[in-house]
Amino acid sequence: VDGLTMSVFAFAHARVREELQNIEWRDRITEIQADYMSRVAQTMAVQTPGCSFIAGSMKLEEPTECWQSGYADLEQRREVRPDTIFRIFSMTKPIVSASILPLIARGKASLSDPICKWLPWFEPSKLRVWAGGGRGRGKEDCEVSKKPITLLDVMRHTSGTFYPANPANGTPGVQDPFLIDSFLKNGVRQAQSPEEFSKRWAQVPLAHEPGRQFTYSPATALIPVIVEKITGMPYEEYLDEVLLRPLGMRNTGFFLKDNEQRGRLANLYERSEPRRGLSYDFKEAERKIFTYERGSALNGDGGMFSTIQDYQRFVRWMLSLEDNRIVPKDLKQSFCQTDHLARQGLAMPEDFLGFASGFGLGTYVTPQGLCGWSGLANTHFVCDQRTGRYAIAMAQCFPFSWRWQELMTVRLRRWEGKVGGPDRTKNLKKPSELSAPE
In 10 A of CB 130, how many CB atoms? 25
Q: What percent of the chain has pLDDT over 70?
A: 82
Give the mean model confidence (pLDDT) for residues 280-289.
92
- Higher per-residue pLDDT: 432 or 320: 320
How far is it, in rounded angstroms, from Cα 84 to Cα 79?
A: 9
Tell me, what's the pLDDT at 278?
61
User: Kindly report the CA angle at 63 between 61 and 66, in degrees rounded to 5?
Assistant: 160
pLDDT digits (tens, 9 = 90+) for 152-192: 999 999 999 999 987 765 666 788 899 999 999 999 999 99
Nearest Cα neighbor of 285 from 405, 131, 170 is 170
Residue 16 has pLDDT above 70, yes or no: no
Report which of residues 70 and 418 the model is more confident about: 70
Look at residue 327 and give its three-state secondary structure.
coil
- The single-letter code of the amino acid at 88 is I
For residue 32, the model assigns a pLDDT of 62
**How buried is residue 384: exposed, middle or buried, by Cβ count under 10 Å (0-12/13-18/19+)?**
buried
Question: With bands split at pLDDT 50, 70 and 90, how would you rate the model's confidence at 7?
Answer: low
- Please tell me the predicted confidence (pLDDT) of residue 136: 47
- CA 86 from chain centre, in angstroms, equals 15
- Asked whether the predicted pLDDT for residue 39 surpasses 90, the reply is no
Q: Which of 237 and 402 is assigned the larger pLDDT?
A: 237
Q: Are 191 and 200 in contact (CB under 8 A)?
A: yes
Predicted pLDDT of residue 214: 95
Residue 349: name the closest of 158, 147, 152, 204 by CA.
158
d(CA 225, CA 301): 12
Cβ pair 240, 254 in contact under 8 A: no
**Do the Cβ atoms of 141 and 129 come closer than 8 Å?**
no
pLDDT exceeds cutoff 50 at 20: no
Q: What is the pLDDT of residue 431?
A: 30
Tell me: the pLDDT tens digits for 201-225?
999 999 999 999 999 999 999 999 9
Percent of the chain with pLDDT over 90: 69
Cis peptide bond upstream of 399, omega within 30? yes
Q: Residue 133's pLDDT band (boundaries 50, 70, 90)?
A: very low
Can you give the pLDDT at residue 41? 86
The pLDDT of residue 322 is 82
- pLDDT for 21 equals 45
pLDDT in tens, 239-258: 999 999 999 999 999 999 99
Examine the pLDDT at 94 and tell me if it is beyond 50: yes
What is the reported pLDDT for 260?
A: 98
pLDDT band (50, 70, 90) for residue 432 = very low
The alpha carbon of 130 is separated from its chain's Cα centroid by a whole number of angstroms, namely 28
* Mean pLDDT of the 121-147 span: 82
- The pLDDT of residue 253 is 98
Q: How confident is the model at residue 411 (pLDDT cuts 50, 70, 90)?
A: confident
What average pLDDT is seen over the chain?
86
Read off the pLDDT of each residue in 422-429 and give the average, rounded to a whole number.
Answer: 32
Q: Which pLDDT score, from 0 to 100, does residue 275 have?
A: 66
Residue 309 has pLDDT above 80, yes or no: yes
Amino acid at 195: E
Segment 84-108 shows an average pLDDT of 98
**Which alpha helices (DSSP H) does 47-173 contain, by range?**
92-99, 101-105, 151-156
Specify the pLDDT at position 409. Answer: 87
pLDDT at 30: 56
Q: What is the pTM of this model?
A: 0.86
Going by pLDDT thresholds of 50, 70 and 90, the confidence category of residue 264 is very high
At 104 the pLDDT is 98
Alpha carbons 231 and 257: distance in angstroms, whole number = 24
DSSP 220: G
pLDDT at 308 over 70: yes
Beta strands in 172-233 (DSSP E): none
> Are the beta carbons of 157 and 151 closer than 8 angstroms?
no
Find the mean pLDDT for residues 385-392: 91
Cα 160 to chain center, whole Å?
Answer: 19
